[in-house]
Amino acid sequence: MKLFELLNNPLPWTETDVSDDYVEYMFSVEDLGMYMVSFSDVGADDGTWELSFALYDNDQGRAQNTIVGTGGKELQVFATVKDILQDFMQSHSSGVEYIEFSSKEPSRTKLYRRLARMIGHAEETYHNEGNFTQFRVKV
C-alpha cells in the first residue's frame, strides 16, 4: 500500500467537546489506546487556533505529551488527525484564519511539514530557544 493510500484511511473518530474557544475529538488505536485531538483559540485577534494531539492518559484524565506509534500505527494516527483537521476546518471555520502546531523531533517535523502543505500555505519558524519548529497555516 502506498503512503498516499495510507493517509486516506483514517480511523473512526468522535467530536467530544465543543465551545466558542475549544473543540476536542477522540479516536481509538488498537493496542495503543485513545488519542485526543484538540483545537484551542489562542486568543489572538487574527483568528489563530492551536492544534495538538496526543495519547490520552485515562488515569490522569488528560493527554500525554507523547505520541506513540509503531508498526504502521503512526500512519493511522496521522491519517486520522488529518481527517479531523479537515472536519474542523469545514465545521468550525467561522473566525478561524490560522492553525498552528509545533514539533521538536526531526522525524515528526518532517511529517508535520507534509501535513501543513496538505492543508494550505504554511509559514515555518525554527525556535532555537526551546529547540522546536512551529508551523502556522493559513486556512
Q: Is 8 in contact with 20 (CB distance < 8 Å)?
A: no
Burial (CB < 10 A; 0-12, 13-18, 19+), residue 35, is: buried
Q: What percent of the chain has pLDDT over 90?
A: 33
- Arithmetic mean of pLDDT, 8-14: 92
Q: What is the pTM of this model?
A: 0.83
* Domain ranges for the chain: 3-138
Torsion of CA 50, 93, 80, 6, to 10 degrees: -120
pLDDT digits (tens, 9 = 90+) for 48-62: 999 998 888 766 655
Mean confidence (pLDDT) of the chain: 83
In degrees, rounded to 5, the angle at the alpha carbon of residue 107 between the alpha carbons of residues 103 and 110 is 75
pLDDT digits (tens, 9 = 90+) for 87-138: 998 898 888 999 999 888 887 788 888 888 887 778 888 887 788 889 998 8
Architecture of the domain delimited by 3-138: 3-Layer(aba) Sandwich (3.40)
The pLDDT confidence band at residue 67, using thresholds 50, 70 and 90, is low
The greatest distance separating any two alpha carbons of the chain, rounded to the nearest whole angstrom, comes to 43
pLDDT at 65 over 70: no
